[in-house]
Amino acid sequence: MSLPTSPASALDRHARPLRNLRVSVTDRCNLRCAYCMPEEEYAWLAKDRILTFEEISRLVDAFASVGVDRVRLTGGEPLLRRDLDRLVALIAAKPAIRDIAMTTNAITLPDHAAALRAAGLGRLTISLDTLDAERYRALTRRDDLSRALAGVDAARDAGFTGTKLNTVVMRGVNDDELARLLAFGRERSIEVRFIEYMDVGGATHWSMDKVVSRTEMLERIASDMGAVETLETEGTGTSAAPADRYRLADGTVFGIIASTTRPFCGTCDRSRLTCDGQWYLCLYAAKGIDLAGPLRAGASSDELAARILGRWVERDDRGAEARLAAPRTPLDVSELRDDPHLEMHTRGG
Ligand code: SAM
Ligand code: SF4
Ligand code: SF4
């Protein structure tokens, strides 16, 4: 198959470009968030199948040659992968990659922030769902709020700007903390993004009544903090940004990611690569596409790129929209044990 002359021509069946690659660098995590890893024990991916940094770098090259220009490192907890700054440096050295970011729970960020920044990591998103220590312990099953807060400070001290805070809002768990989290973000010039609770793999205790919708979040924020102004979407035409953005009278800007009640599949330019080289065209895709096999069998970069492009142009996925249209039930623990690739912490959030 011949490759396109311009990466911009890699469009799927809904004319969505291939732009954004989320790379899950490990399926392991040091937290056990109730909405992601409610079990204590998991079936982990086999160590010998985990891609080396050089292998990930080769796959990123192939993706870049067919249009990817943004990479986000995620997991599991990406900071559990030793010497991650080495992977950041490999990716940051690629001229085609204009943006390299990472999503982290920040627990060990104080140990790594400076090295990651020096290696070329551009931006950080820190996941933090509560500012209450007891709640944090209940929600993550680890007593680590003070370490996570130290991680937030470490990002600033290392010189990161534009850091964002991701908060999954769950009814009866942390839905009374929106104003407090916004104040926390404002004091640190960090934009908070509230995420609707999603029925992704791993969220085995999900139910619609625990979802706090974007509409309800806005009503609560307005009643606690006054008028909320809607801003233009942050997407610039070159990126499909899922967050709707808002501003309070005091200038505080925040986002809401309404993945459950108002999915953004129509403009979705993201796909996910697991740490054992399986490529998922949608967060909800049942099956991945094996890239590790061809890579380890000696496929050239052009062959890998052709495989990627061939699958992307056939992409029809609109997973969250489909789930909105039909009655939904979360995945079962036994299904997840049988195929750990269905887990959010494996395919990357
Ligand atoms: N461990 C890192 C962290 O938590 O930032 C990176 C991986 S985590 C899977 C990535 C993001 O997915 C986090 O912001 C997390 O809050 C989000 N996430 C996980 N399960 C979710 C769910 N059921 N609904 C909404 N967001 C979820
Ligand atoms: Fe929580 Fe992220 Fe770990 Fe999932 S991968 S349990 S969201 S810290
Ligand atoms: Fe994209 Fe799938 Fe999420 Fe829709 S559900 S926004 S297609 S990853």
What Å distances lie between residue 159 and 121, 125, 188, CA to CA? 11, 14, 13
Structure confidence at residue 9 (pLDDT): 60
Whole-model pTM over 0.85: yes
Q: Check if 78 has its Cβ closer than 6 Å to any atom of ligand 2.
A: no
Q: State what percent of residues in the chain have pLDDT above 90.
A: 87
Structure confidence at residue 234 (pLDDT): 55
How confident is residue 2, by pLDDT bands cut at 50, 70 and 90?
very low
Structure confidence at residue 268 (pLDDT): 96
> Residue 5: inside a domain, yes or no?
no
How many A from CA of 1 to the centre of ligand 1? Answer: 37
Helix, coil or strand: residue 81: coil
Q: Which ligand 2 atom sits nearest the alpha carbon of residue 77? A: 5
Helix, coil or strand: residue 248: strand
Residue 3 pLDDT > 50: no
> Residue 322: inside a domain, yes or no?
yes
Average pLDDT along the chain? 93
How many A from CA of 36 to the centre of ligand 1? Answer: 7
> Residue 178: inside a domain, yes or no?
yes
Residue 281 pLDDT > 70: yes
Higher pLDDT, 333 or 290: 290
Atom 4 in ligand 2: which residue has the minimum CA distance? 36
Number of other CB atoms surrounding residue 298 within 10 Å: 7
How confident is residue 239, by pLDDT bands cut at 50, 70 and 90?
very low
70-74 and 99-104 as β-strands: parallel, antiparallel, unpaired? parallel
Pocket of ligand 3 (CB under 6 A): 263-265, 268, 270, 282-284, 317-320
Higher pLDDT, 215 or 7: 215
Residue range 159-187: mean pLDDT, rounded: 98
> Residue 6: inside a domain, yes or no?
no
How many A from CA of 277 to the centre of ligand 2? Answer: 20
CATH number of the domain at 122, please. Answer: 3.20.20.70
Lowest mean pLDDT among 23-37, 47-61, 104-118, 326-340: 326-340
Q: What angle is formed at CA 162 by the lines to CA 158 and CA 164, rounded to 5 degrees?
A: 100
> Residue 214: inside a domain, yes or no?
yes
Q: Check if 343 has its Cβ closer than 6 Å to any atom of ligand 2.
A: no
Question: Mutation test of ligand 2: which of 26, 36, 147, 275 has the most ligand atoms closer than 8 Å to its C-beta?
Answer: 36
Q: Which ligand 3 atom sits nearest the alpha carbon of residue 323? A: 5
Cβ atoms of residues 145 and 136 within 8 Å: yes
Phi-psi region of 33 (alpha: psi -120 to 50; beta: other; left: phi over 0): beta
Residue 99 pLDDT > 50: yes
How many A from CA of 284 to the centre of ligand 3? Answer: 7
Question: Mutation test of ligand 1: which of 72, 104, 124, 166 has the most ligand atoms closer than 8 Å to its C-beta?
Answer: 166
Torsion angle of alpha carbons 21, 24, 30, 32, nearest 10°?
A: 80
> Residue 220: inside a domain, yes or no?
yes
Count of structural domains, the chain: 1
Domain that holds residue 121: 19-343
Structure confidence at residue 337 (pLDDT): 86
Q: State what percent of residues in the chain have pLDDT above 70.
A: 95
